[in-house]
Amino acid sequence: AMARDDADAGVHVSGAHVWVRDSRVDSGWTAGEVLELLDEGKKLRVKLEDESGHRDGEVVEKIAEECALHNPGRNVEDMTRLSYLHEPGVLHNLHDRYRADDIYTYTGSILIAVNPFQKLPHLYGKPMMEMYRGTPIGDLSPHVYAVADASYKAMRTDQGKSQSILVSGESGAGKTETAKLIMNYFAFMGGRTDDDRYVEKQVLESNPLLEAFGNAKTVRNDNSSRFGKYIQIQFDVHGRISGAAIKTYLLERSRVVNINDPERNYHVFYQLCAGASEEEKINLNLKPAQEYRYLNSSRCFDLDGVDNAEEYRRTRRAMDVVGISKEEQDNVFRIAAAILHLGNCTFAGEDEAVLMDQNAEEHLQSAAALLGVNANALNKALTTRTIQTLEGSITSPLSPNSAAEGRDSLAKTLYSKLFDWLVAHINRSIGQDESAASHIGVLDIYGFESFKSNDFEQFCINFANEKLQQHFNEHVFKMEQQEYQAEQINWSYIDFVDNQDVLDLIERRPFGILDIIDEQCRFPSATHEELALKMYSTLKEDNDPTKRFSKPKRGQYAFTIRHYAGDVTYEANNFLDKNKDFVVVEHQNLLSNADQPLTRELFPIEDPTFSPNKKGSRAAYKFSSVGTRFKEQLHDLMAALATTEPWYVRCIKPNAHASPGAFERGSVLHQLRCGGVLEAVRISLAGFPTRRGYGEFLDRFGLFSSPPWASAKFTRIDDMRAATEELLEVAGVKGYELGVSKVFLRAGEMAKLDKKRRVLLDKAATRIQSYAKRYLVRSEFLRVREATIVIQAYTRGFIARREFEYRRREKASIVLQKEFRRWLARRKFLRIRQATISAQSYYRGKMARKRAMALKYEKSAIIIQSSWRKYRLQSDFRKNRRAAVAIQCAWRVRVAKRELRHRRMKAREAATLLRDKAVLEEKFAHATATLEKVKNQRDELRRDFKEYKVLLENVKDDLASESERRKCLEKDLSSFNATIERLKAELLEEQEGRAADCEALNASLAELCRRRDEREAELLSDLEASTNRISELQADLHREVQLKEAAQLSEAEAHASYEARAAEVILLQKRLDETPTQRDPLSTVDETRLSQNRNVGDTARHQAEADVKLKRMQLERQNEDMDSLLKVLAMPTGEIGFSPDGIPGIAVVTFASLAEWKAFEAERTHTFDRIMSAYARAVEKANSEDDDATLAYWLASNASLLAILHSTLRAASGSSTRRRSSGLPSMFSRFREGLTSSRKSSEEEVEDGSKASGKIEARYPALLFKQQLTALLEHVYTLLRDSAKKRLQPLLDACIAMPRAGRGATHRANGTTSHPAQAAIAPWNEMISVLQTLLESLRAAHLPSLLMKRLFSQTFAFINVYLFNALLLRKECCSFSNGEYVKTGLAQLEAWVLAAKGEGLVIALDELRFLRQAVTFLVIHQKPKKSFDEITHDLCPTLSIQQLYRISNMYWDDKYGTESVNPDVLSQMKRLMAQDNAGGEAGIAFLLDDDSSIPFTVDDIAGTTLPRTFNRGTLALPEAVIGNPSFAYLQA
C-alpha cells in the first residue's frame, strides 16, 4: 500500500471522520469517527463504520499516523482537488461518483473510466458530442469526449503536433468500448460524408472483424481481446480524416491449440460451426463444435446473450465493408476450418507416429483439401523430418509426441499468419495518407495482469505495461513541473520511482530474462528445469542489486519479479515452448506450393522468416523468438509515442461479476495501482498536493482573522494573495508557496488548517449552544407554568360539568324505563293479533287452492280429447292429398313428353329456319340504322364546330375545358365501339345454333368490321401527326414568349404573336376532320371553309398590331409610377411613417399602387418582382447595419401588407391560377353547345359571387407575390429574433462564468473596483436593457401584439435553454450560491416584465419554467427531507426524471455545506430511468433544444394585424405621400 504522507499526530480532533487501516477488508481501509485522543494525540480511539456508513459500535485504538482524514464535502470531478490526497480518499471519491452514475473522473490530465456494466444513453450521442466540441477540458463534467476533443484541438493548434491516447485496463474494464467512443468522436469531428465507404466507417467496421479473430472468452471477460491494437488516425491540414493504419501486438497463439475450462477458443471457430450455411458445411466438411479437439477441451461452447450464427453473419458483413471479396472470405474460412480439422489429426505408435484411426485420416483428408495440398504429402510432413547433409538428405520418422507438437505448431503458425493477413488487408483497404499533416494514435492494449498461475503471455503483457508505466511516469512528472512553472513558485527537483531497473532486468543483453530464454530455446533438448536453474544462477541477488528478481519459497521452477504494481510469480514450465516461433521446412515447402491461393500467399517461397535449405545445412526448421520480436515491436511503439503528446484513459473494472452497481474496493484499488494512478498521486504528494484558488481559500479559512474575511471583500488578486499569506502566518503554516492564482500546500498542511478551523467552529458552536439551551430551558419553564394554570381552570370546569351530567342522566333514565314498559306490553298484544290473522288466512287459502286444482284437471282432459280427434282427421286428409298429387304429376309428365316430341318435329322444318333468318336480318338492319344515325350526329357536330371558329378570341378561356371535351369524344367513340361489340356478340350467340344458314351474314359483318378498323387506324395516325405538330407549335410559342419577355417587349406585342400562333394551331386542328371522301364514306370536306379558317389568323394578327401603340403608352405611364413607388421604398423608414389608421406607410402605398395599376388581375407583369427586390434590399441593408428598429418597421409593414392582401384577394376561377406558359387550346375546344352554355353560366355565378364578396380576383403573379411576401416576413422575423439572441448570448455566458470566477471576483482582471453585488448582477441589468431596447423598437413600429408575444416567447425560451443546459453540464453552476444568483436575476427579469405592462410578455414568462423550477430546487432547504412525490409534483413538475437525477447528483452546497436529496429518492429516480431505457426511450436526452421554428401562420397574421374598422375602400394614405405630385394617381 501507498505510504501516507499527510498523516500527522496533531491534526486529529474528537468527532473527526477518518480512514483506519483494516486488514479485514479488501481495500485495507475502514471509515470511522474519532472518539478520543490518547497519549497526547499519538493514539486515537475510533468507532468503526460498515460499508454503508452505519456505525457498528466496534471501538478500536489506532496509531494516529495510520488514520487518514476524511475529505470534506461531496465528491470532486478532479481528484487533484481533494483536500487530502491519499489512497482511501481516491477510492471513496471513485465509489461515490460511481453510485451516482458519474463513471468518469479526472486525476490531473488522466481520465479514469469505471465500467458501469449497463447502458447509459444520456452520456453519449451526437448532442453530447456537440456539447463537448471546442469546450476546454475541465469546464464540463469529465468525459471521454473531453479527452478526445482536447487531443484533437491540441493537434490543430499546437503547430500540428501529433497526439496519442493510451487506453489501458484489465480484461473486461471497457477498453474496447472506450476506444470505439474515441473513434466515433474523431469521425464526428473530422469525418467526410461524400463517400459511402469513407475512412472512419471502415476503421469502425474493422472492430467486429478483429474481435471475431482476436477475441475469446476468458475467466474474467466473455469478449477479451487477446492482442494489443494501436490505431493511427491521420488528418489533413483541414482537420479531416485522410487515412488510418492499424498495428497489432502479441496475439495469443497458444490459445489456438490449448484452452482451459471454462474459457473458449477464438470466436471465429464457434461462429463458423454455428453460422455456416448447409452448402458451406458440406464444402468445408464442418461438424458441431463439440467434435473438434481444439474446442472441446472446454465445456463452454456458447455465451449468454450471444447468437454465434448471427455473429458469423455480422463478421461476413464486416469483411464486405473493409473490402474483402467473396472469394477471399471463402478462402479465409477454409483455412479456419482446416485448423479445426488439423486438431483432430491424432497420432499413435511407439517410435514412429502414424494416424490413430479412420476418423483421424478423414480429418487429415479434409485439412489437406481445404489447404489445397496432397493428403499424403501433408501426412508425411507431419510425421517425418528431413535433414540435409553433405552426403544427401536423411528422412527420419517422428514420435507421436513430436508429431503432435509439429501439428500444433503448424496450426498456430497458420492462424497467426491468417490474422496478420487480415490486419494487412484492412490497412490496404483503408489506405494511409503519406502526406498527412498530423495524426492521433489510439492505443487499446491489455493492462497489468497477475493471476494465481502466470505464464509467458502474462510476462510479455507486464513487460509492455512496465514500458508504458515509465512513459506515464515521465509524462505525469512533466505535467506537475509545468504547473509549478506556470504558477511561478519556488520548487526543487522531485524524485520519482523509475522502473528502468526492472526493464533492464527483462531486456538487457546479455544476461537479461529474454536473452536467457532465447539462449535456452536454441538448444533443441533444453527443458524448463534448465531454464529456471539458468535464471537462478545468472540473476541471483549478487547480480541484481535492485532486488527485482527472486526465487519464491513455493514453486520449484518459478521466479518472482517485483513490478511497479506488485510482485508477480511466473511459472517457467511453458516459457520455452511459447517463445519458439518456427516454420518446419517440410511445412514451408508444402504450403508454399499449395493450390489454394491464400495458402500460397501466407507461405511465400521468399518468406523472410524462413530460408530454404541450402546444401550443407542441417536445420529442419528456422527458429524465431516471440519475446524478441515483441520487444522490437514495443520499442517501435514507444518510439512512435515519444513523437506525440500523450493522453491517458485508465479503464477500471468495478467487480469481477460484471454486475451493475457493484463496487469491489479491493479489486478497484489493485487496478488503480496497476494503472499507475496511485503512482501519479504519489508523485503529486512529493511536491505540493493541495492547491486552492485564493478566493476559495479565503472563503474557507477567512475566519482565522478578526473580523472574518471572505473573498467578496477583495477586488484585486494581489490583495487576496497578501491576505492569504497573512492568514497562513497567523495559522503557523510553513510548507506553502504562493503562486499567481493559487496557494500550494505541502502534504499535511491542509489537515492542520482544517483542525484549527474545526476547533474555532467547535468553540463557536459551544457558545451558541449554551445561549440556545438557556433560552430553551426558560421558554420551557414559562410554557409549563402557563399550561398549569390553564389545566387547573379546565379541571374545575370539568368536575362541575360532570355533576350536572349525572343528574340529567338520572332523570332521563326514569323516563326511558316508563316508555320501555309501555313498548313491551304493546308488542305482546300485536304479536297475538298477527298470529290469529295468519292462521285464518292459511286455512282459507288451502281450501281455495283445492277447488282450483280440481277445475284445472277437468279442463286438461277436455283439451287432450279435442287434440286427439283433430290429429286423426288431419292425418287422413294429408294421405288423400298426397295420392291425388302423385296421380296428377304422372299424367302431366306424360302430356309434356308428347308435346316435346311434337315441337321437336316442328323445329326441324324449313319454315322455322326462314323465320329465324328474317328476325336476324331485321336486327342487323336496326344496328346498321343506329350506326348511320351516329355518323349523322358526328357530321352535325363537326358542322357546329366549324360554325363556332369565328369565336377565336375566347380560346384562352377554353383551354381548361378542351381536355374535358376531348375526353367526352373519346368516351362517345368508346361507347359506340362497345355497342358494335355488343351487337357482334349477340349475332355470334344466334349463329351458334344456326351456323349453316348465316354464313353470308357473318361474311358481311366481318367486312364491315375490317373497314371500320382500317378507318380508325387512319384517324389515329392523322390524330398523332396533328398532335405532334401542335406540341411543336406550343414549344415554339413558349420560346417566343420567353424571348420577348427577356427583351422587355410590350405585353401587346407578345399577345399579337400569341394570337397568330393560335390561329395556325386552329387550322391544324381542323385537318383531323377534313379527310378525303374516297377514304372516309362517313364524312365530307368543305374547301371553302378551310380557306376561311386560314384568314382568321391574319385578321387576329392585324387587330392585335393596331392596339400595340395604345398599350405601349399605358406601360410607359405605369413605369413612371413604378419608379416613384421605388423611390418611396428607398426612403428612411422614419420619413415614411404610418397612416392615420396606424398601418405602416409602405404597406398602404404599395397596396394602393398595385390596386390602381390593376396588377393583381394581370396574367404577366414584372411589377411584383421589382417591388420584392426593393423590399429585400432594404431588409438586407438594415440587417448589415444591425438596425433593429428598421427591421421592426419592415416586419410590421410586411405583416400589414400580407394581412391586407389576405383580406382583399381571392384566387380567380378558370385560368387565373395557371402559369404564363400553360399551353394552347386543344383540337376539341367547345365541342358541345350544352357544355359551353353550362360553363358560361357557372362563370357568371362566380363573377356574381366575387362582386358580392367585394374581393379582387388575383391571377397567378399576384398569388406568387403573396407567397414571396410571406417568405420575406418569416425572414425578417428570423433576423430580428437571431439579432436579439446574438446580443443576449455574451451576457448569458457572463452569467454562466460568474460561479467559476467566484463571488465578488467579477471584473478583477481589468482592475475595476465596483461593488461586488453590483458587478455580479450587471449581466442581468444589461440583459434587461437589451430587452427594453427591443421592446421600444417593436412598439415604435406598431408591431402586432401576436408577433410581439411570439418574439418574446422565443427569446425567453432561448434564455431558459441556454442557462438550463449550462446548469446540467457544469458542476460549478449546480450550486446553492449560483441558484440564489440566478433566482435574483430572474426576479429582476420578472419585475421588468410586470413594469412593461402588457403585449403578452407575462405569458412569455412561462417559457422560463424549466430554469425557474431548477433554481427553486437548488435554493430549497432540507432537501434530504423531501420525498419523491414532493419533488416531482410540487417543486419540479415540468422537469423530467433524467433532469432531476442529473441536478441531484451534481448539486453541491458551497455556502452551508448541506447534502442533496435522500439516497432513496435517488435510487427511485435511477430505477425509473432504467425502466424508461428498457421501454425503448433510451435515446431521450436530458438537455433542452432551442426552438427556431416560425411560430405563426398567414391566417394568424390576417386575424390580428388589421384594425376592426379597416376598409380597403377608405384606406388612408400616410402624410409623406399626401401632396406628392408623383402619387397624383392615388390622390385622385
What pLDDT, on the 0 to 100 scale, is given for residue 717? Answer: 80
| 552-580 per-position pLDDT tens digit | 887 778 999 988 888 899 999 888 888 87
Rounded to whole angstroms, the Cα distance separating 1372 from 887 reads 115
Q: Is the dihedral of CA 1228, 1232, 1238, 1243 positive or negative?
A: positive
pLDDT at 969: 65
One-letter identity of residue 1186? D
Cβ neighbours of 788 (radius 10 Å): 10
pLDDT given at position 794: 93
More confident call, 1072 vs 701:
701
Query: Hey, how many other C-beta atoms are within 10 angstroms of the C-beta on 1153?
Result: 22
Residue 1457 confidence (pLDDT) above 50: yes
Instruction: State residue 832's pLDDT score.
Output: 92
Separation between Cα atoms, residue 319 and residue 325, nearest integer Å: 8
The pLDDT assigned to 779 comes to 93
Handedness of CA 1485, 1488, 1494, 1499 (dihedral sign): positive
pLDDT averaged over every residue in the chain: 78
- 1428: nearest Cα among 1459, 1464, 1473, 1452: 1464
User: Do 169 and 652 contact (CB within 8 A), yes or no?
Assistant: yes
Which pLDDT band holds residue 389 (cuts at 50, 70, 90)? confident
Q: Is the pLDDT of residue 616 over 70?
A: no
**pLDDT digit string, tens, across residues 478-497:** 677 767 777 777 766 555 56
Q: How far apart are CA 1215 and CA 1235, in angstroms?
A: 17
C-alpha to C-alpha distance for 330 and 980, rounded to whole angstroms: 67
Angle at 1346 between CA 1342 and CA 1347, to 5 degrees: 65
- Which cell is 901 given? 316430341
What is the tens place of the pLDDT at every residue in 159-215?
678 899 999 888 788 888 898 899 889 888 876 554 444 576 777 778 889 989 999
* Cβ partners under 8 Å of residue 354, min gap 6: 347, 348, 383
Task: Note the pLDDT of residue 276.
Answer: 93
Q: Cα(1204)–Cα(1192) distance, rounded to whole angstroms?
A: 18
- pLDDT for residue 1094: 46
What pLDDT is recorded for position 1074? 45
Q: Which of 473, 502, 447, 448 is nearest to 646 (CA)?
A: 473
Could you give phi then psi for residue 982, rounded to 5 degrees? -65, -45
The residue ranking higher by pLDDT, 1501 or 1173, is 1173
Contact 381, 590 (CB under 8 A): yes
Q: What is the mean pLDDT of residues 463-468?
A: 88
Least confident segment among 527-536, 718-727, 940-949: 940-949
Q: For 308-326, write each residue's pLDDT tens digit.
A: 999 999 999 999 888 899 9
pLDDT higher at 540 or 779: 779
Q: Which carries the bigger pLDDT value, residue 26 or residue 1431?
A: 1431
Strands 393-397 and 224-225 turn out to be unpaired
pLDDT score for 282: 92
Give me the pLDDT at residue 976, please: 65
CA dihedral 678, 683, 687, 693 (to 10 degrees): -50
- CB within 8 Å of 732: residues ≥ 6 apart: 752
Average pLDDT over residues 1413-1419: 89
Nine cell digits for residue 182: 474515441
> In this structure, what C-alpha cell is assigned to residue 465?
505495461
Global model pTM greater than 0.75: no
1178 pLDDT above the threshold of 80: yes
DSSP string, 885-949: HHHHHHHHHHHHHHHHHHHHHHHTSHHHHHHHHHHHHHHHHHHHHHHHHHHHHHHHHHHHHHHGG
The predicted pLDDT at position 1265 comes to: 85
Q: What pLDDT is recorded for position 1054?
A: 42
Where is mean pLDDT largest: 119-128, 797-806, 1203-1212, 1257-1266? Answer: 797-806
Comparing CA positions, the residue from 245, 247, 206, 208 lying closest to residue 227 is 247
C-alpha cell at 711: 473573498
Grid cell for residue 1313: 473596483
Give whole-number Cα distances, 1404 to 24, 231, 1396, in Å. 62, 52, 12
